[in-house]
Copies of this chain bind each other. A is one copy, B any other.
Amino acid sequence: MIVELISVGTELLLGNIVNTNAAFLAGQCALLGLSMYHQSVVGDNEERLAETIQTALDRSDIVILSGGLGPTQDDITKETAAKVLNIPLVEDVHSRERIEEYFKNSQFKIITDNNWKQAQVPEGCIVVDNKNGTAPGIIMEKNGKSVILLPGPPNELIPMFKNDIFPYLNKLQPEIIYSVMVKICGLGESYVETKIVDLIDNQTNPTIATYAKTGEVHLRVTARASDDKEAKKLVKPVIKELKTRFGEHIYSTDENTTLEETIIALLKEKNLTLTTAESCTGGLLAARLTNVSGVSEVFKQGFVTYSNRAKRKLLDVKKNTLKIFGAVSEKTAKEMAKNGAFVTGSDVCVSITGLAGPNGGTQEKPVGLVYIACCYNNTITVKEFHFKGERNKIRELATVNALTLLRECILSNSDREKNAKEKTEKI
Task: Find chain B residues with CB under 8 A from A36 CB.
Answer: 13-14
Task: Find chain B residues with CB under 8 A from A43 CB.
Answer: 37
A residues 253-303 near B (Cβ < 8 Å) are 276, 278, 280-287, 289-291, 293-296, 299-303
Task: Find chain B residues with CB under 8 A from A299 CB.
Answer: 282, 306
A325 is an interface residue with CB less than 8 A from chain B: no
Determine which of B17, B304, B358 lies in contact with A286 in the assembled complex, contact meaning CB atoms within 8 Å.
B304
Given A12-B39, A286-B282, A302-B283, A23–B27 Cβ distance below 8 Å? Answer: no
A307 is an interface residue with CB less than 8 A from chain B: yes
Given A22-B41, A48-B38, A276–B304 Cβ distance below 8 Å? Answer: yes
Task: Find chain B residues with CB under 8 A from A98 CB.
Answer: none
Task: Find chain B residues with CB under 8 A from A15 CB.
Answer: 22-30
Task: Find chain B residues with CB under 8 A from A13 CB.
Answer: 26, 30, 36-37, 39
CB–CB B296/A301 < 8 A: no
Instruction: With CB as the reference atom, state the residue of chain B lying closest to A304.
Output: B302
Instruction: With CB as the reference atom, state the residue of chain B lying closest to A289.
Output: B282
CB–CB A16/B12 < 8 A: no
Mark each residue of chain A from 36 to 50: 1 if its CB lies under 8 Å from any CB of chain B, else 0: 111111110100100
- Please give the count of copies of this chain that the complex contains: 2
Instruction: With CB as the reference atom, state the residue of chain B lying closest to A290.
Output: B282
CB–CB A305/B309 < 8 A: no
A211 is an interface residue with CB less than 8 A from chain B: yes
Task: Find chain B residues with CB under 8 A from A110 CB.
Answer: none
Given A13-B37, A16-B27, A283-B286, A293–B359 Cβ distance below 8 Å? Answer: yes
Min CB distance A91 to B, Å, is 33
A172 is an interface residue with CB less than 8 A from chain B: no
Give the complex CA separation of A28 and B18 in angstroms.
13
Min CB distance A347 to B, Å, is 14
Determine which of B30, B45, B301 lies in contact with A307 in the assembled complex, contact meaning CB atoms within 8 Å.
B301
CB–CB A18/B18 < 8 A: yes
Task: Find chain B residues with CB under 8 A from A295 CB.
Answer: 282, 306
CB–CB A357/B293 < 8 A: yes
CB–CB B17/A19 < 8 A: no
Task: Find chain B residues with CB under 8 A from A19 CB.
Answer: 18-19, 22-23
Task: Find chain B residues with CB under 8 A from A284 CB.
Answer: 283, 287
Give the complex CA separation of A329 and B305 in angstroms.
26
Give the complex CA separation of A343 and B18 in angstroms.
44
Task: Find chain B residues with CB under 8 A from A41 CB.
Answer: 22, 38-40
Min CB distance A87 to B, Å, is 25
CB–CB A23/B17 < 8 A: yes
A310 is an interface residue with CB less than 8 A from chain B: yes
Task: Find chain B residues with CB under 8 A from A40 CB.
Answer: 38-41
Task: Find chain B residues with CB under 8 A from A300 CB.
Answer: 306-307, 309-310
Q: Which 4 A-B pairs have the closest CB atoms?
A: A282-B290, A15-B27, A283-B283, A283-B286
Q: List 27 A-B contacts (CB under 8 A).
A: A12-B26, A13-B26, A14-B30, A15-B25, A15-B27, A15-B29, A16-B23, A18-B18, A18-B19, A18-B20, A18-B23, A37-B45, A39-B41, A276-B304, A281-B287, A282-B290, A282-B295, A283-B285, A283-B304, A284-B287, A293-B358, A300-B310, A301-B304, A302-B303, A303-B304, A310-B344, A313-B344
Interface of A with B (CB < 8 Å)?
12-20, 22-30, 36-43, 45, 48, 52, 211, 276, 278, 280-287, 289-291, 293-296, 299-307, 309-310, 313-314, 344, 357-359, 391-392, 395
Given contacts A15-B30, A303-B304, 4 further A-B contacts (CB under 8 A): A12-B26, A13-B39, A15-B22, A293-B359
